[in-house]
Chain A
Amino acid sequence: MLQVRFHGRGGQGVVTAAELLALAAFVEGRHAQAFPSFGSERTGAPVVSFCRIDDAPIRTREPILEPDAVIIQDVTLVHQVDLFSGLEADGYVLINTSRSFEELGLAALVERLRPERLATVPATELARQHVGRPLPNAALLGGMAALTSAVSLGALEGAIRERFPGPIGDANVAAARAAHDHVRRELGERAHAATA
Chain B
Amino acid sequence: MLRQLEGSRAVAEAVALCRPEVVCAYPISPQTHIIEAVGALVRTGKLQPCEFLNVESEFAALSVAIGASAAGARAYTATASQGLLFMMEAVYNAAGLGLPIVMTLANRAVGAPINIWNDHSDAMAVRDSGWIQLFAEDNQEAVDLHIQAFRLAEELSLPVMVCMDGFVLTHALERVDLPGQADVDAFLPPYVPRQVLDPADPVSIGAMVGPEAFTEVRYLAHLRQLDALVAIPRLAEEFATRFGRSSGGLVSTYRTEDADTIVVALGSVLGTIKDAVDALRDAGERIGVLGITAFRPFPTDAVRAALARAVRIVAVERAFSIGFGGVLSTDVALSCQGLPASVHTVVAGLGGRPVTRRALEAVLHDAAAGKLGRTTFLDLDTIVVERERARMAADRRSGPMAENILRDLATSAASPHAEEGR
Contacts and interface: CB of A to CB of B under 8 A. Distances in A.
A62 interface: yes
B184 interface: no
Interface residues of B, number: 30
Given A22-B4, A61-B272, A63-B354, A38 B175 contact: no
Interface in A67-86: 79-80, 82
B286 interface: no
A43 to B, nearest CB: 17
A32 B274 contact: no
Range of interface residues on A (Cβ < 8 Å): 20 to 34
Interface string A71-108: 00000000110100000000000000000000000000
Nearest to B267: A61
A13 interface: no
A191 interface: no
Contacts of A31: 174-175
Interface string A44-77: 0000000000000111111101000000000000
A40 interface: yes
Nearest to A162: B4
A20 to B, nearest CB: 9
B176 to A, nearest CB: 10
B386 interface: no
A22 B421 contact: no
Nearest to A50: B172
Most buried by A among B4, B167, B271, B417: B4
B168 A60 contact: no
A63 B167 CA distance: 12
Interface string B348-375: 0000101111100000000000000000
Interface of A is mostly: loop
B175 A62 contact: no
A36 B171 contact: yes
Contacts of B271: 58-61
Contacts of B358: 65
A60 B4 contact: no
B357 A62 contact: yes
B420 A79 contact: yes
A23 interface: yes
Contacts, number: 69
B contact face: mostly helix, strand, loop, or mixed: mixed
A40 B352 CA distance: 12
A139 interface: no
B173 A19 contact: yes
A26 B5 CA distance: 10
A120 interface: no
B356 A65 contact: yes
Nearest to B114: A40
B268 interface: yes
Given A26-B4, A38-B167, A38-B352, A60 B275 contact: yes
A49 B342 CA distance: 40
Interface string B173-197: 1110000000000000000000000
Nearest to A18: B173
A40 B116 contact: yes
B355 A62 contact: yes
A167 B171 CA distance: 27
B174 A22 contact: yes
A33 B173 contact: yes
Given A26-B175, A60-B272, 20 more contacts: A22-B173, A23-B4, A23-B173, A32-B175, A33-B172, A36-B167, A38-B30, A38-B118, A38-B171, A40-B116, A59-B275, A60-B271, A61-B269, A61-B271, A62-B272, A62-B355, A62-B356, A65-B356, A79-B421, A80-B417
11 contacts: A22-B173, A32-B174, A32-B175, A33-B172, A36-B171, A40-B116, A59-B274, A60-B271, A61-B268, A63-B354, A82-B420
